[in-house]
Structure 1
Amino acid sequence: MHTQRPAALKDAVGRFGIFSQELRSEAPALQGELLDAAAELEELGFGAIWLGGSSGVHHAAHLAEATDRVVLATGILNISYEAADTVAEQRAELEHAHPDRFVLGLGASHAQLAKHYQRPYSTMVEYLDALDSATTPVPAQSRILAALGPRMLRLARDRAVGAHPYLVTPEYIEQARHILSDAALLAPEVTVVLESEPRSARETARRFLDYYLQLPNYAANLKRLGFTDDDLTGGGSDFLVDALVVWGTDDAINARLAEFHTAGADHLALQLITEEQTEALPRAQWRRLADLTARSKAQPGI
């Protein structure tokens, strides 16, 4: 069967959201700022907050207390680490307290990161079965899969509201949309560096990309798109960096973001990468990004 995308969810998340690993921090000293930042992102007009770094339902529940309408999503919950029945119960509690505010993003992770990693597709099917049969089931319309390959994309189409791919290009989005069909929500993570000087922007991007390019799942997906081993070494060739990371002047960044929407993405989960990677929240740059995307939304055809 094909899961129809609820129009209400598409309207709620809008065209842009923020993807942040920092916002799921459990450092006691940061909790107050996390709540303030989430509330500000809502006021800035972002439709969703995607919590990266193997986030859990409890991370979203924490931010729900400080916000009124922004959609909160795990990006992603690692199915190797959290039992389906526990996740279903936590999700039901969050849904009761804050109806229609949470999307459960699920992923099988990577062999280097997940305990007992094996057969990611079959493991995901089993996990979805467990969510369906839980005492408090998680509806397909309330979950989204971190799909990359064709089989996982079809599973996202058939048993979730859609797909939340990571580290992809507009060309990938076009192929994924063809597999998913128009009925599914396609909400990729898109990495952004607010820097127009090419050398500086690419250096920042490479420091971020180097780790991910060593993970076989991402490497295999990029090779399916035509990139070579040479492109994947040393943090990525200029060609690869420019394909995966959005950077440049404000106009250039808007044009690149528009490519993802034109290719078929419904919503872009924007991950802002800064020159100094710390736990500090890039709030001033989020404000600049909000201004930039607001101009994008105001332009006809963008």
Structure 2
Amino acid sequence: MDFGRLGVWCSTDRLDAAGLRALLKRVEGKGYGTLWYPESRGHESVALAGFLLANSTKLVIGSSIANIYARDAFTARRALATMNALHGGRFALGLGVSHIPMVEGLRGHHYDKPIPAMRAYLDGMAKGGGAALEGPVLLAALGPKMLALAAARSDGAVPYNVTPDHTKQAAEILGPGKVLAVEQKVCIEPDKARARALGRKELARYMTLPNYVNNWLRLGFSEAELADGGNDRFIDAMVISGDAEAVKTGLRAHFAAGATHVCIQPVTEDGDTGHRDAMLAALADT
């Protein structure tokens, strides 16, 4: 499956049908290869994939990520097969263990240890049919153990909230022939204080989640740098900002570090689709 050099990551829960169609038109029209979407508190992942595939023509549609606690492994495999059979082989299944509040607090499940839980899920998918899966499966891998599992048992990884240093480490662990589709938040905004304020607002939801915090500490950020919404060095690393050329330079650093695909997440004021679309237009030739 050809993901293209660049993709777009969008928090689709904020969009209704008309908004989703407008996003698809913009992303596909600007030549991006893949549209990635999460599974949080709104749209259900597989149903949304069907809508996105039905309303696009060339885009690869990728879940980033589908929560393994939301459907059993057999169902996930059948979803992968169904989407690709009905929509011309354009669906990639990104899987993740999610976070304790989303699993225990929201869904009422027990949150198991991430590596054994994902390994068991992949085992379950393997039992659901022949040896070869019906499309690419990628793991939301941050730490070295999950990246090693992605290398051994999947087509690659979809890291989120990471830096080029992490991309370099991930590429080394995954090895050749694997997809490394890295999400990167961007904000084309010459006013650095405004860009950082938008970044802090966007990142606030992640700052209390241990999976991300632990990975940031592994990457060399200190607890002090993560306190009170994150200091400037941390925010600048998570959200590349400045003019279009500065942002492009930051995106290219991921490719230099070994990414095979970078998915851009525009950071804007809530509902500012004009700023979002202007950024997608400006960065499409990165």
Same fold (TM over 0.5): yes
Alignment partner of 1:43 is 2:25: no
Tell whether the 8 Å contact from 1:16 to 1:293 is kept in structure 2 after alignment.
no
Aligned to 2:247: 253
Aligned match of 1:300: none
Deviation at 1:273, TM superposition (A): 1.3
Q: 1:47·1:71 contact (CA, 8 Å) conserved in 2?
A: yes
Once the two structures are superposed, residues 55-106 of structure 1 have per-residue CA deviations (whole angstroms, 9 ceiling, x without a partner) of 5122111111111110001110010121112222222221111122000000
CA distance in 2, matches of 1:174, 1:45: 26
1:20 aligns with 2:10: yes
Compute the displacement of 1:286 (Å): 4.0
- Where 2:150 maps in the other structure, the secondary structure is helix
SS state of the match for residue 100, structure 2?
coil
For normalisation by structure 2, the TM-score amounts to: 0.91
Kindly indicate whether the alpha-carbon contact (under 8 Å) linking 1:88 and 1:136 is maintained by their aligned counterparts in 2: no
Does the 8 A contact of 1:187 with 1:267 survive in 2? Answer: yes
Structure 2 residue runs of 5 or longer lacking an equivalent are: 105-109
CA contact (8 A) 1:140 1:159 kept: no
In the TM superposition, what whole-angstrom CA distance separates every residue of 1:12-39 from its partner, at most 9, and x where no partner exists?
Answer: 21111111122x56x7xx2133123213
Q: Aligned equivalents of 1:140 and 1:101: distance in 2?
A: 11
Letter in 1 for 2:223: D
Aligned-residue RMSD, C-alpha: 1.8
Name the stretch that deviates more: 50-59 or 147-156.
50-59
Alignment partner of 1:162 out of 148, 156, 162:
156
Checking the alignment, whether the CA contact within 8 Å between 2:141 and 2:147 is kept in structure 1 is yes
The answer to whether the Cα contact below 8 Å between 1:88 and 1:137 also exists between their aligned partners in 2 is no
Greater displacement, 89-98 / 158-167: 89-98
Name the residue aligned to 1:294.
284
Partner Cα distance (1:155, 1:141) in 2: 18
2:8 aligns to what SS in structure 1? strand
Residue 119 (structure 2) pairs with residue 129 (structure 1)? no
4+ aligned runs moved over 6 Å, structure 1: none
| Contact 1:42-1:67 within 8 A present in 2 as well | yes
How far apart, in 2, do the equivalents of 1:111 and 1:160 lie?
Answer: 24
The answer to whether the Cα contact below 8 Å between 2:67 and 2:95 also exists between their aligned partners in 1 is yes
Q: CA deviation digits over 1:150-178, x for unaligned, max 9?
A: 01001111111100011000111111111
> In 1, distance between residues paired with 2:54 and 2:232?
42
Q: Is the 8 A contact 1:141 1:161 kept in 2?
A: no
Q: 1:110 aligns with which of 99, 104, 116?
A: 99
Alignment counterpart, residue 191 of structure 2, candidates 197, 201, 207 = 197
Other-structure match for 1:299: none
1:229 to 217, 223, 234: 223
Q: 2:268–2:276: 8 Å Cα contact kept in structure 1? A: no
- Which residue of structure 2 lines up, in the alignment, with residue 6 of structure 1? none
- Return the letter of the residue paired with 1:258: R
Residues 141, 160 of structure 1: 8 Å contact kept: no
The DSSP-based 3-state class of the residue aligned with 2:92 is strand
Q: Secondary structure at the match of 1:257?
A: helix
Corresponding position of 1:31: 17
Shift of 1:258: 0.9
State the SS of the aligned residue for 1:188.
strand
SS at match of 1:49: strand
Give the TM-score, by structure 1 length: 0.87
- SS across alignment from 2:56: coil
Structure 1: how far apart are the matches of 2:131 and 2:79? 11
**Partners of 1:140 and 1:92 in 2: CA distance:** 5
Contact 2:84 2:134 in 1 (8 A): no
The sequence identity of aligned pairs, in percent, is: 34
Q: Is the 8 A contact 2:84 2:135 kept in 1?
A: no
Name the CA distance, whole Å, in 1 between partners of 2:284 and 2:21. 23
SS in structure 1 at match of 2:221: coil
Distance 2:236 2:176 in 1: 28
CA contact (8 A) 1:167 1:218 kept: yes
Are residues 1:59 and 2:45 paired? Answer: no
2:210 corresponding residue in structure 1: 216
State the number of aligned residues. Answer: 278
Instruction: Give how far 1:241 is off.
Output: 0.7
